[in-house]
Each structure stands twice: as C-alpha cells, then as structure tokens.
C-alpha cells in the first residue's frame, strides 16, 4: 500500500521540522560523545515509522537498548509478531507502557547491567566506577519524558501526549547507577516516505501543523479497511459502524467482496451528519482523537514483513504470525 493510495492528491505533503528540533539535532553530536548508552524509544503501533534513519550513524557502536512504548495500544498478536521479527534481525526489544509502568523496571535493570559492564572495563584500566550515562532518544511524542518520569518515580521532566513538549536537552539522575539525558524528539529533515509520515500523523508523533487533519482521517478510514482482514492488527470487523453507527460504503467503482475499497469521504460526511452537525473537520478530529486515546481499541498500524530490514523497511500488512513466548 502506497501513500498515494491513501492520501488525496490534493492534500499537501506531510512535513514537520520545527526550529527547536533542528537545534536539538545539532546538539546531539556533542551529547553523544558524553554518553555510554543510547535508549531508543519507538511507538509500538508503528515501530518502523518511528525508527530514525540516522540512528546507526549517531550511536557509532555505543550500546543500544530498543524500547517499544505504548505496548498497551497493540494486540498481543502484534507484539508477538514484532518480537519475532526484531529477534530475527538480532535486536532485543524492551516492551513498555510508560503510563502504567509496565516493563519499566526491566528496562532500568538492563541499563544498569550496561553500566556494570562499563565499570568492569574502567576497573580493568585502573579507573573509578561511575554511573552509566544514557541518552533517551526518539521521535516526538513516543513517550520518552513519560518513561523518564516513571523511571525516577516523580515528574522531573514535562510530559504530555502531544509532539514538541521537550525542547531542550536535560540530565536527570536516577539513583547512583544511572544518569539519563532527555532529548527533544528528533525527526529526519524530510519525511520522504509519506506512508510513514501518515502513520506518524495518525499516532500524533508529529505536530498538527504538519498535516491536513481531514485528509489524514480519510486515509485512516481506508487504512483500517486494509488492516481489518489481518487478525494481529486488532481491527474488528465493522469497527467504525459499531462505534459511530454509520456503515462504511464501498466506492461506486469498486467490485463488491473482500478488499473492496471504502468510500472514506462518504463515510466521513455521513458520520459528521450524525455526530457533528455536518462538520467534517470536527468529525475527522474526533475520529483521530479516539484512535489516539485507545477508544477504538488496540490497533497496530504496522506489522512486520519477512525479508525487510530493521531500520529502513517499508512495512505492509502480513498474515498473522504464530504465537511466541514473550522475552
């Protein structure tokens, strides 16, 4: 599925690269020289879209922990599929829900173990031990600050479910073993992959000024129809009709049957007539808000595809993966 299949040709390209992110990216080079460990945080709903293409260049062989936050917002089947996929690419995933604290203790212990290894090497060179210095890195609004607050067990950095809250680098001490550097969310200078950009917009991982909300909502209706046959995606049959009381019609030119293209514009207009006095922009925003808050259920917008790379893959929707034990 291509972005052109989902976004209207009249919709502007999704782009967002505000000044504070550009400034923060320039500061990263100096900060990376000071850290021992990079804790990369991604959104569990879109693990590939929230992987920065420059990451490997930045970490340059430093220890790396990959965290998929918001595990509560995808199905167990999606989690199992991604665990197997990352394992096949020699990557261990740390699943977290920063809001509830799930998986946070395990992540902390993994970071401390990395520090133990560091200090063992320092001791071998006759140097004193010190706390491990870790950089928390990721796209905007993937939950980095919330994760730090959960690790420290108090609100030490500003956190909210919107992009662009953290705007400067800040060190936070976690006991005697770990110093964390919270960095602003960092986006690529250009979002050339518009399908990935669409997923970022849907998950509120880029600012609302970057996209047309109504166009993104229309694309979401079409995307849900494509995900519905895949059990791991977590999209129940007839989800939008059950939630809003409005069936999703097929495009007039579409052939009836499985995979029929939905008439997203007709559905949005009918839903708006029923719920928002005909205001399609308000209805579009309601749809996006309810997805982001989990009201529509645990939905994975990306699922892994065999044979794609761990950092720059273009995922599509595969058949469900067989259950695997959680790590």
> What is the per-residue pLDDT across 214-254, written as a single tens digit (0 to 9) for each?
999 999 999 999 999 999 999 999 999 999 999 999 988 75
What's the mean per-residue pLDDT of the chain?
82
Question: Of 18-22, 70-74, 128-132, 222-226, where does mean pLDDT reach its minimum?
Answer: 18-22
Distances (CA, A) of 301 to 201, 276, 282, 289, 310: 12, 26, 23, 15, 17
Q: Is 60 exceeded by the pLDDT of residue 211?
A: yes
CATH number for the segment(s) 19-182: 3.40.50.300
Q: What is the pLDDT of residue 317?
A: 32
Average pLDDT, integer, range 304-313:
60
The number of beta carbons lying within 10 Å of the beta carbon of residue 235 is 25
| Residue 292 host element (H or E) | helix 280-292
How confident is residue 83, by pLDDT bands cut at 50, 70 and 90? very high
> How far is residue 200's CA from residue 43's CA, in Å, rounded to a whole number?
9
Which of 81, 85, 25 has the alpha carbon at shortest distance from 53?
Answer: 25
Whether 80 and 323 have beta carbons less than 8 Å apart is answered as: yes
- Predicted model pTM: 0.83
Q: What is the pLDDT of residue 282?
A: 98
More confident residue, 281 or 25: 281
Give the contacts of 146 (CB within 8 A, at least 6 positions apart).
Answer: 69, 98, 99, 159
For the chain, give every domain's residue range: 3-9+191-292, 19-182
> How far is residue 209's CA from residue 214's CA, in Å, rounded to a whole number?
12
């Amino acid at each position: 599925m291509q972005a052109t299949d989902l976004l209207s040709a009249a919709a502007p390209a999704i782009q967002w690269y505000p000044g504070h992110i550009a400034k923060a990216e320039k500061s990263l080079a100096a900060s990376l020289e000071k850290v021992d460990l990079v804790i990369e945080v991604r959104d569990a709903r879109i693990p590939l879209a929230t992987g920065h293409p420059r990451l490997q260049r930045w970490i340059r062989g430093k220890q790396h922990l990959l965290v998929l936050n918001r595990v509560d917002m995808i199905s167990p089947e999606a989690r199992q599929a991604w665990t197997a996929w990352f394992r096949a690419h020699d990557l261990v995933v740390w699943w977290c829900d920063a809001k509830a604290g799930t998986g946070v203790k395990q992540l902390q212990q993994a970071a401390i173990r990395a520090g133990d290894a560091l200090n063992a090497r320092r001791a071998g060179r006759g140097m004193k031990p010190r706390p491990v210095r870790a950089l928390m890195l990721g796209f905007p609004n993937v939950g980095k600050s919330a994760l730090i607050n959960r690790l420290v067990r108090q609100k030490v950095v500003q956190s909210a479910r919107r992009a662009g809250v953290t705007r400067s680098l800040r060190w936070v001490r976690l006991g005697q073993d770990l110093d964390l550097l919270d960095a602003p969310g960092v986006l690529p200078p250009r979002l050339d992959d518009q399908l990935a950009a669409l997923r970022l917009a849907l998950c509120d991982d880029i600012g609302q000024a970057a996209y047309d909300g109504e166009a993104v909502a229309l694309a979401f209706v079409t995307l849900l129809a494509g995900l519905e046959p895949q059990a791991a995606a977590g999209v129940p049959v007839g989800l939008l009709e059950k939630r809003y009381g409005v069936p999703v019609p097929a495009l007039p030119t579409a052939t009836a049957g499985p995979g029929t293209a939905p008439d997203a514009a007709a559905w949005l207009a009918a839903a708006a007539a029923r719920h928002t006095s005909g205001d399609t922009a308000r209805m579009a925003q309601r749809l996006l808000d309810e997805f982001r808050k989990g009201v529509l259920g645990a939905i994975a917008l990306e699922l892994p595809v065999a044979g794609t790379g761990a950092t720059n893959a273009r995922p599509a929707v595969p058949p469900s993966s067989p259950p695997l034990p959680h790590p």
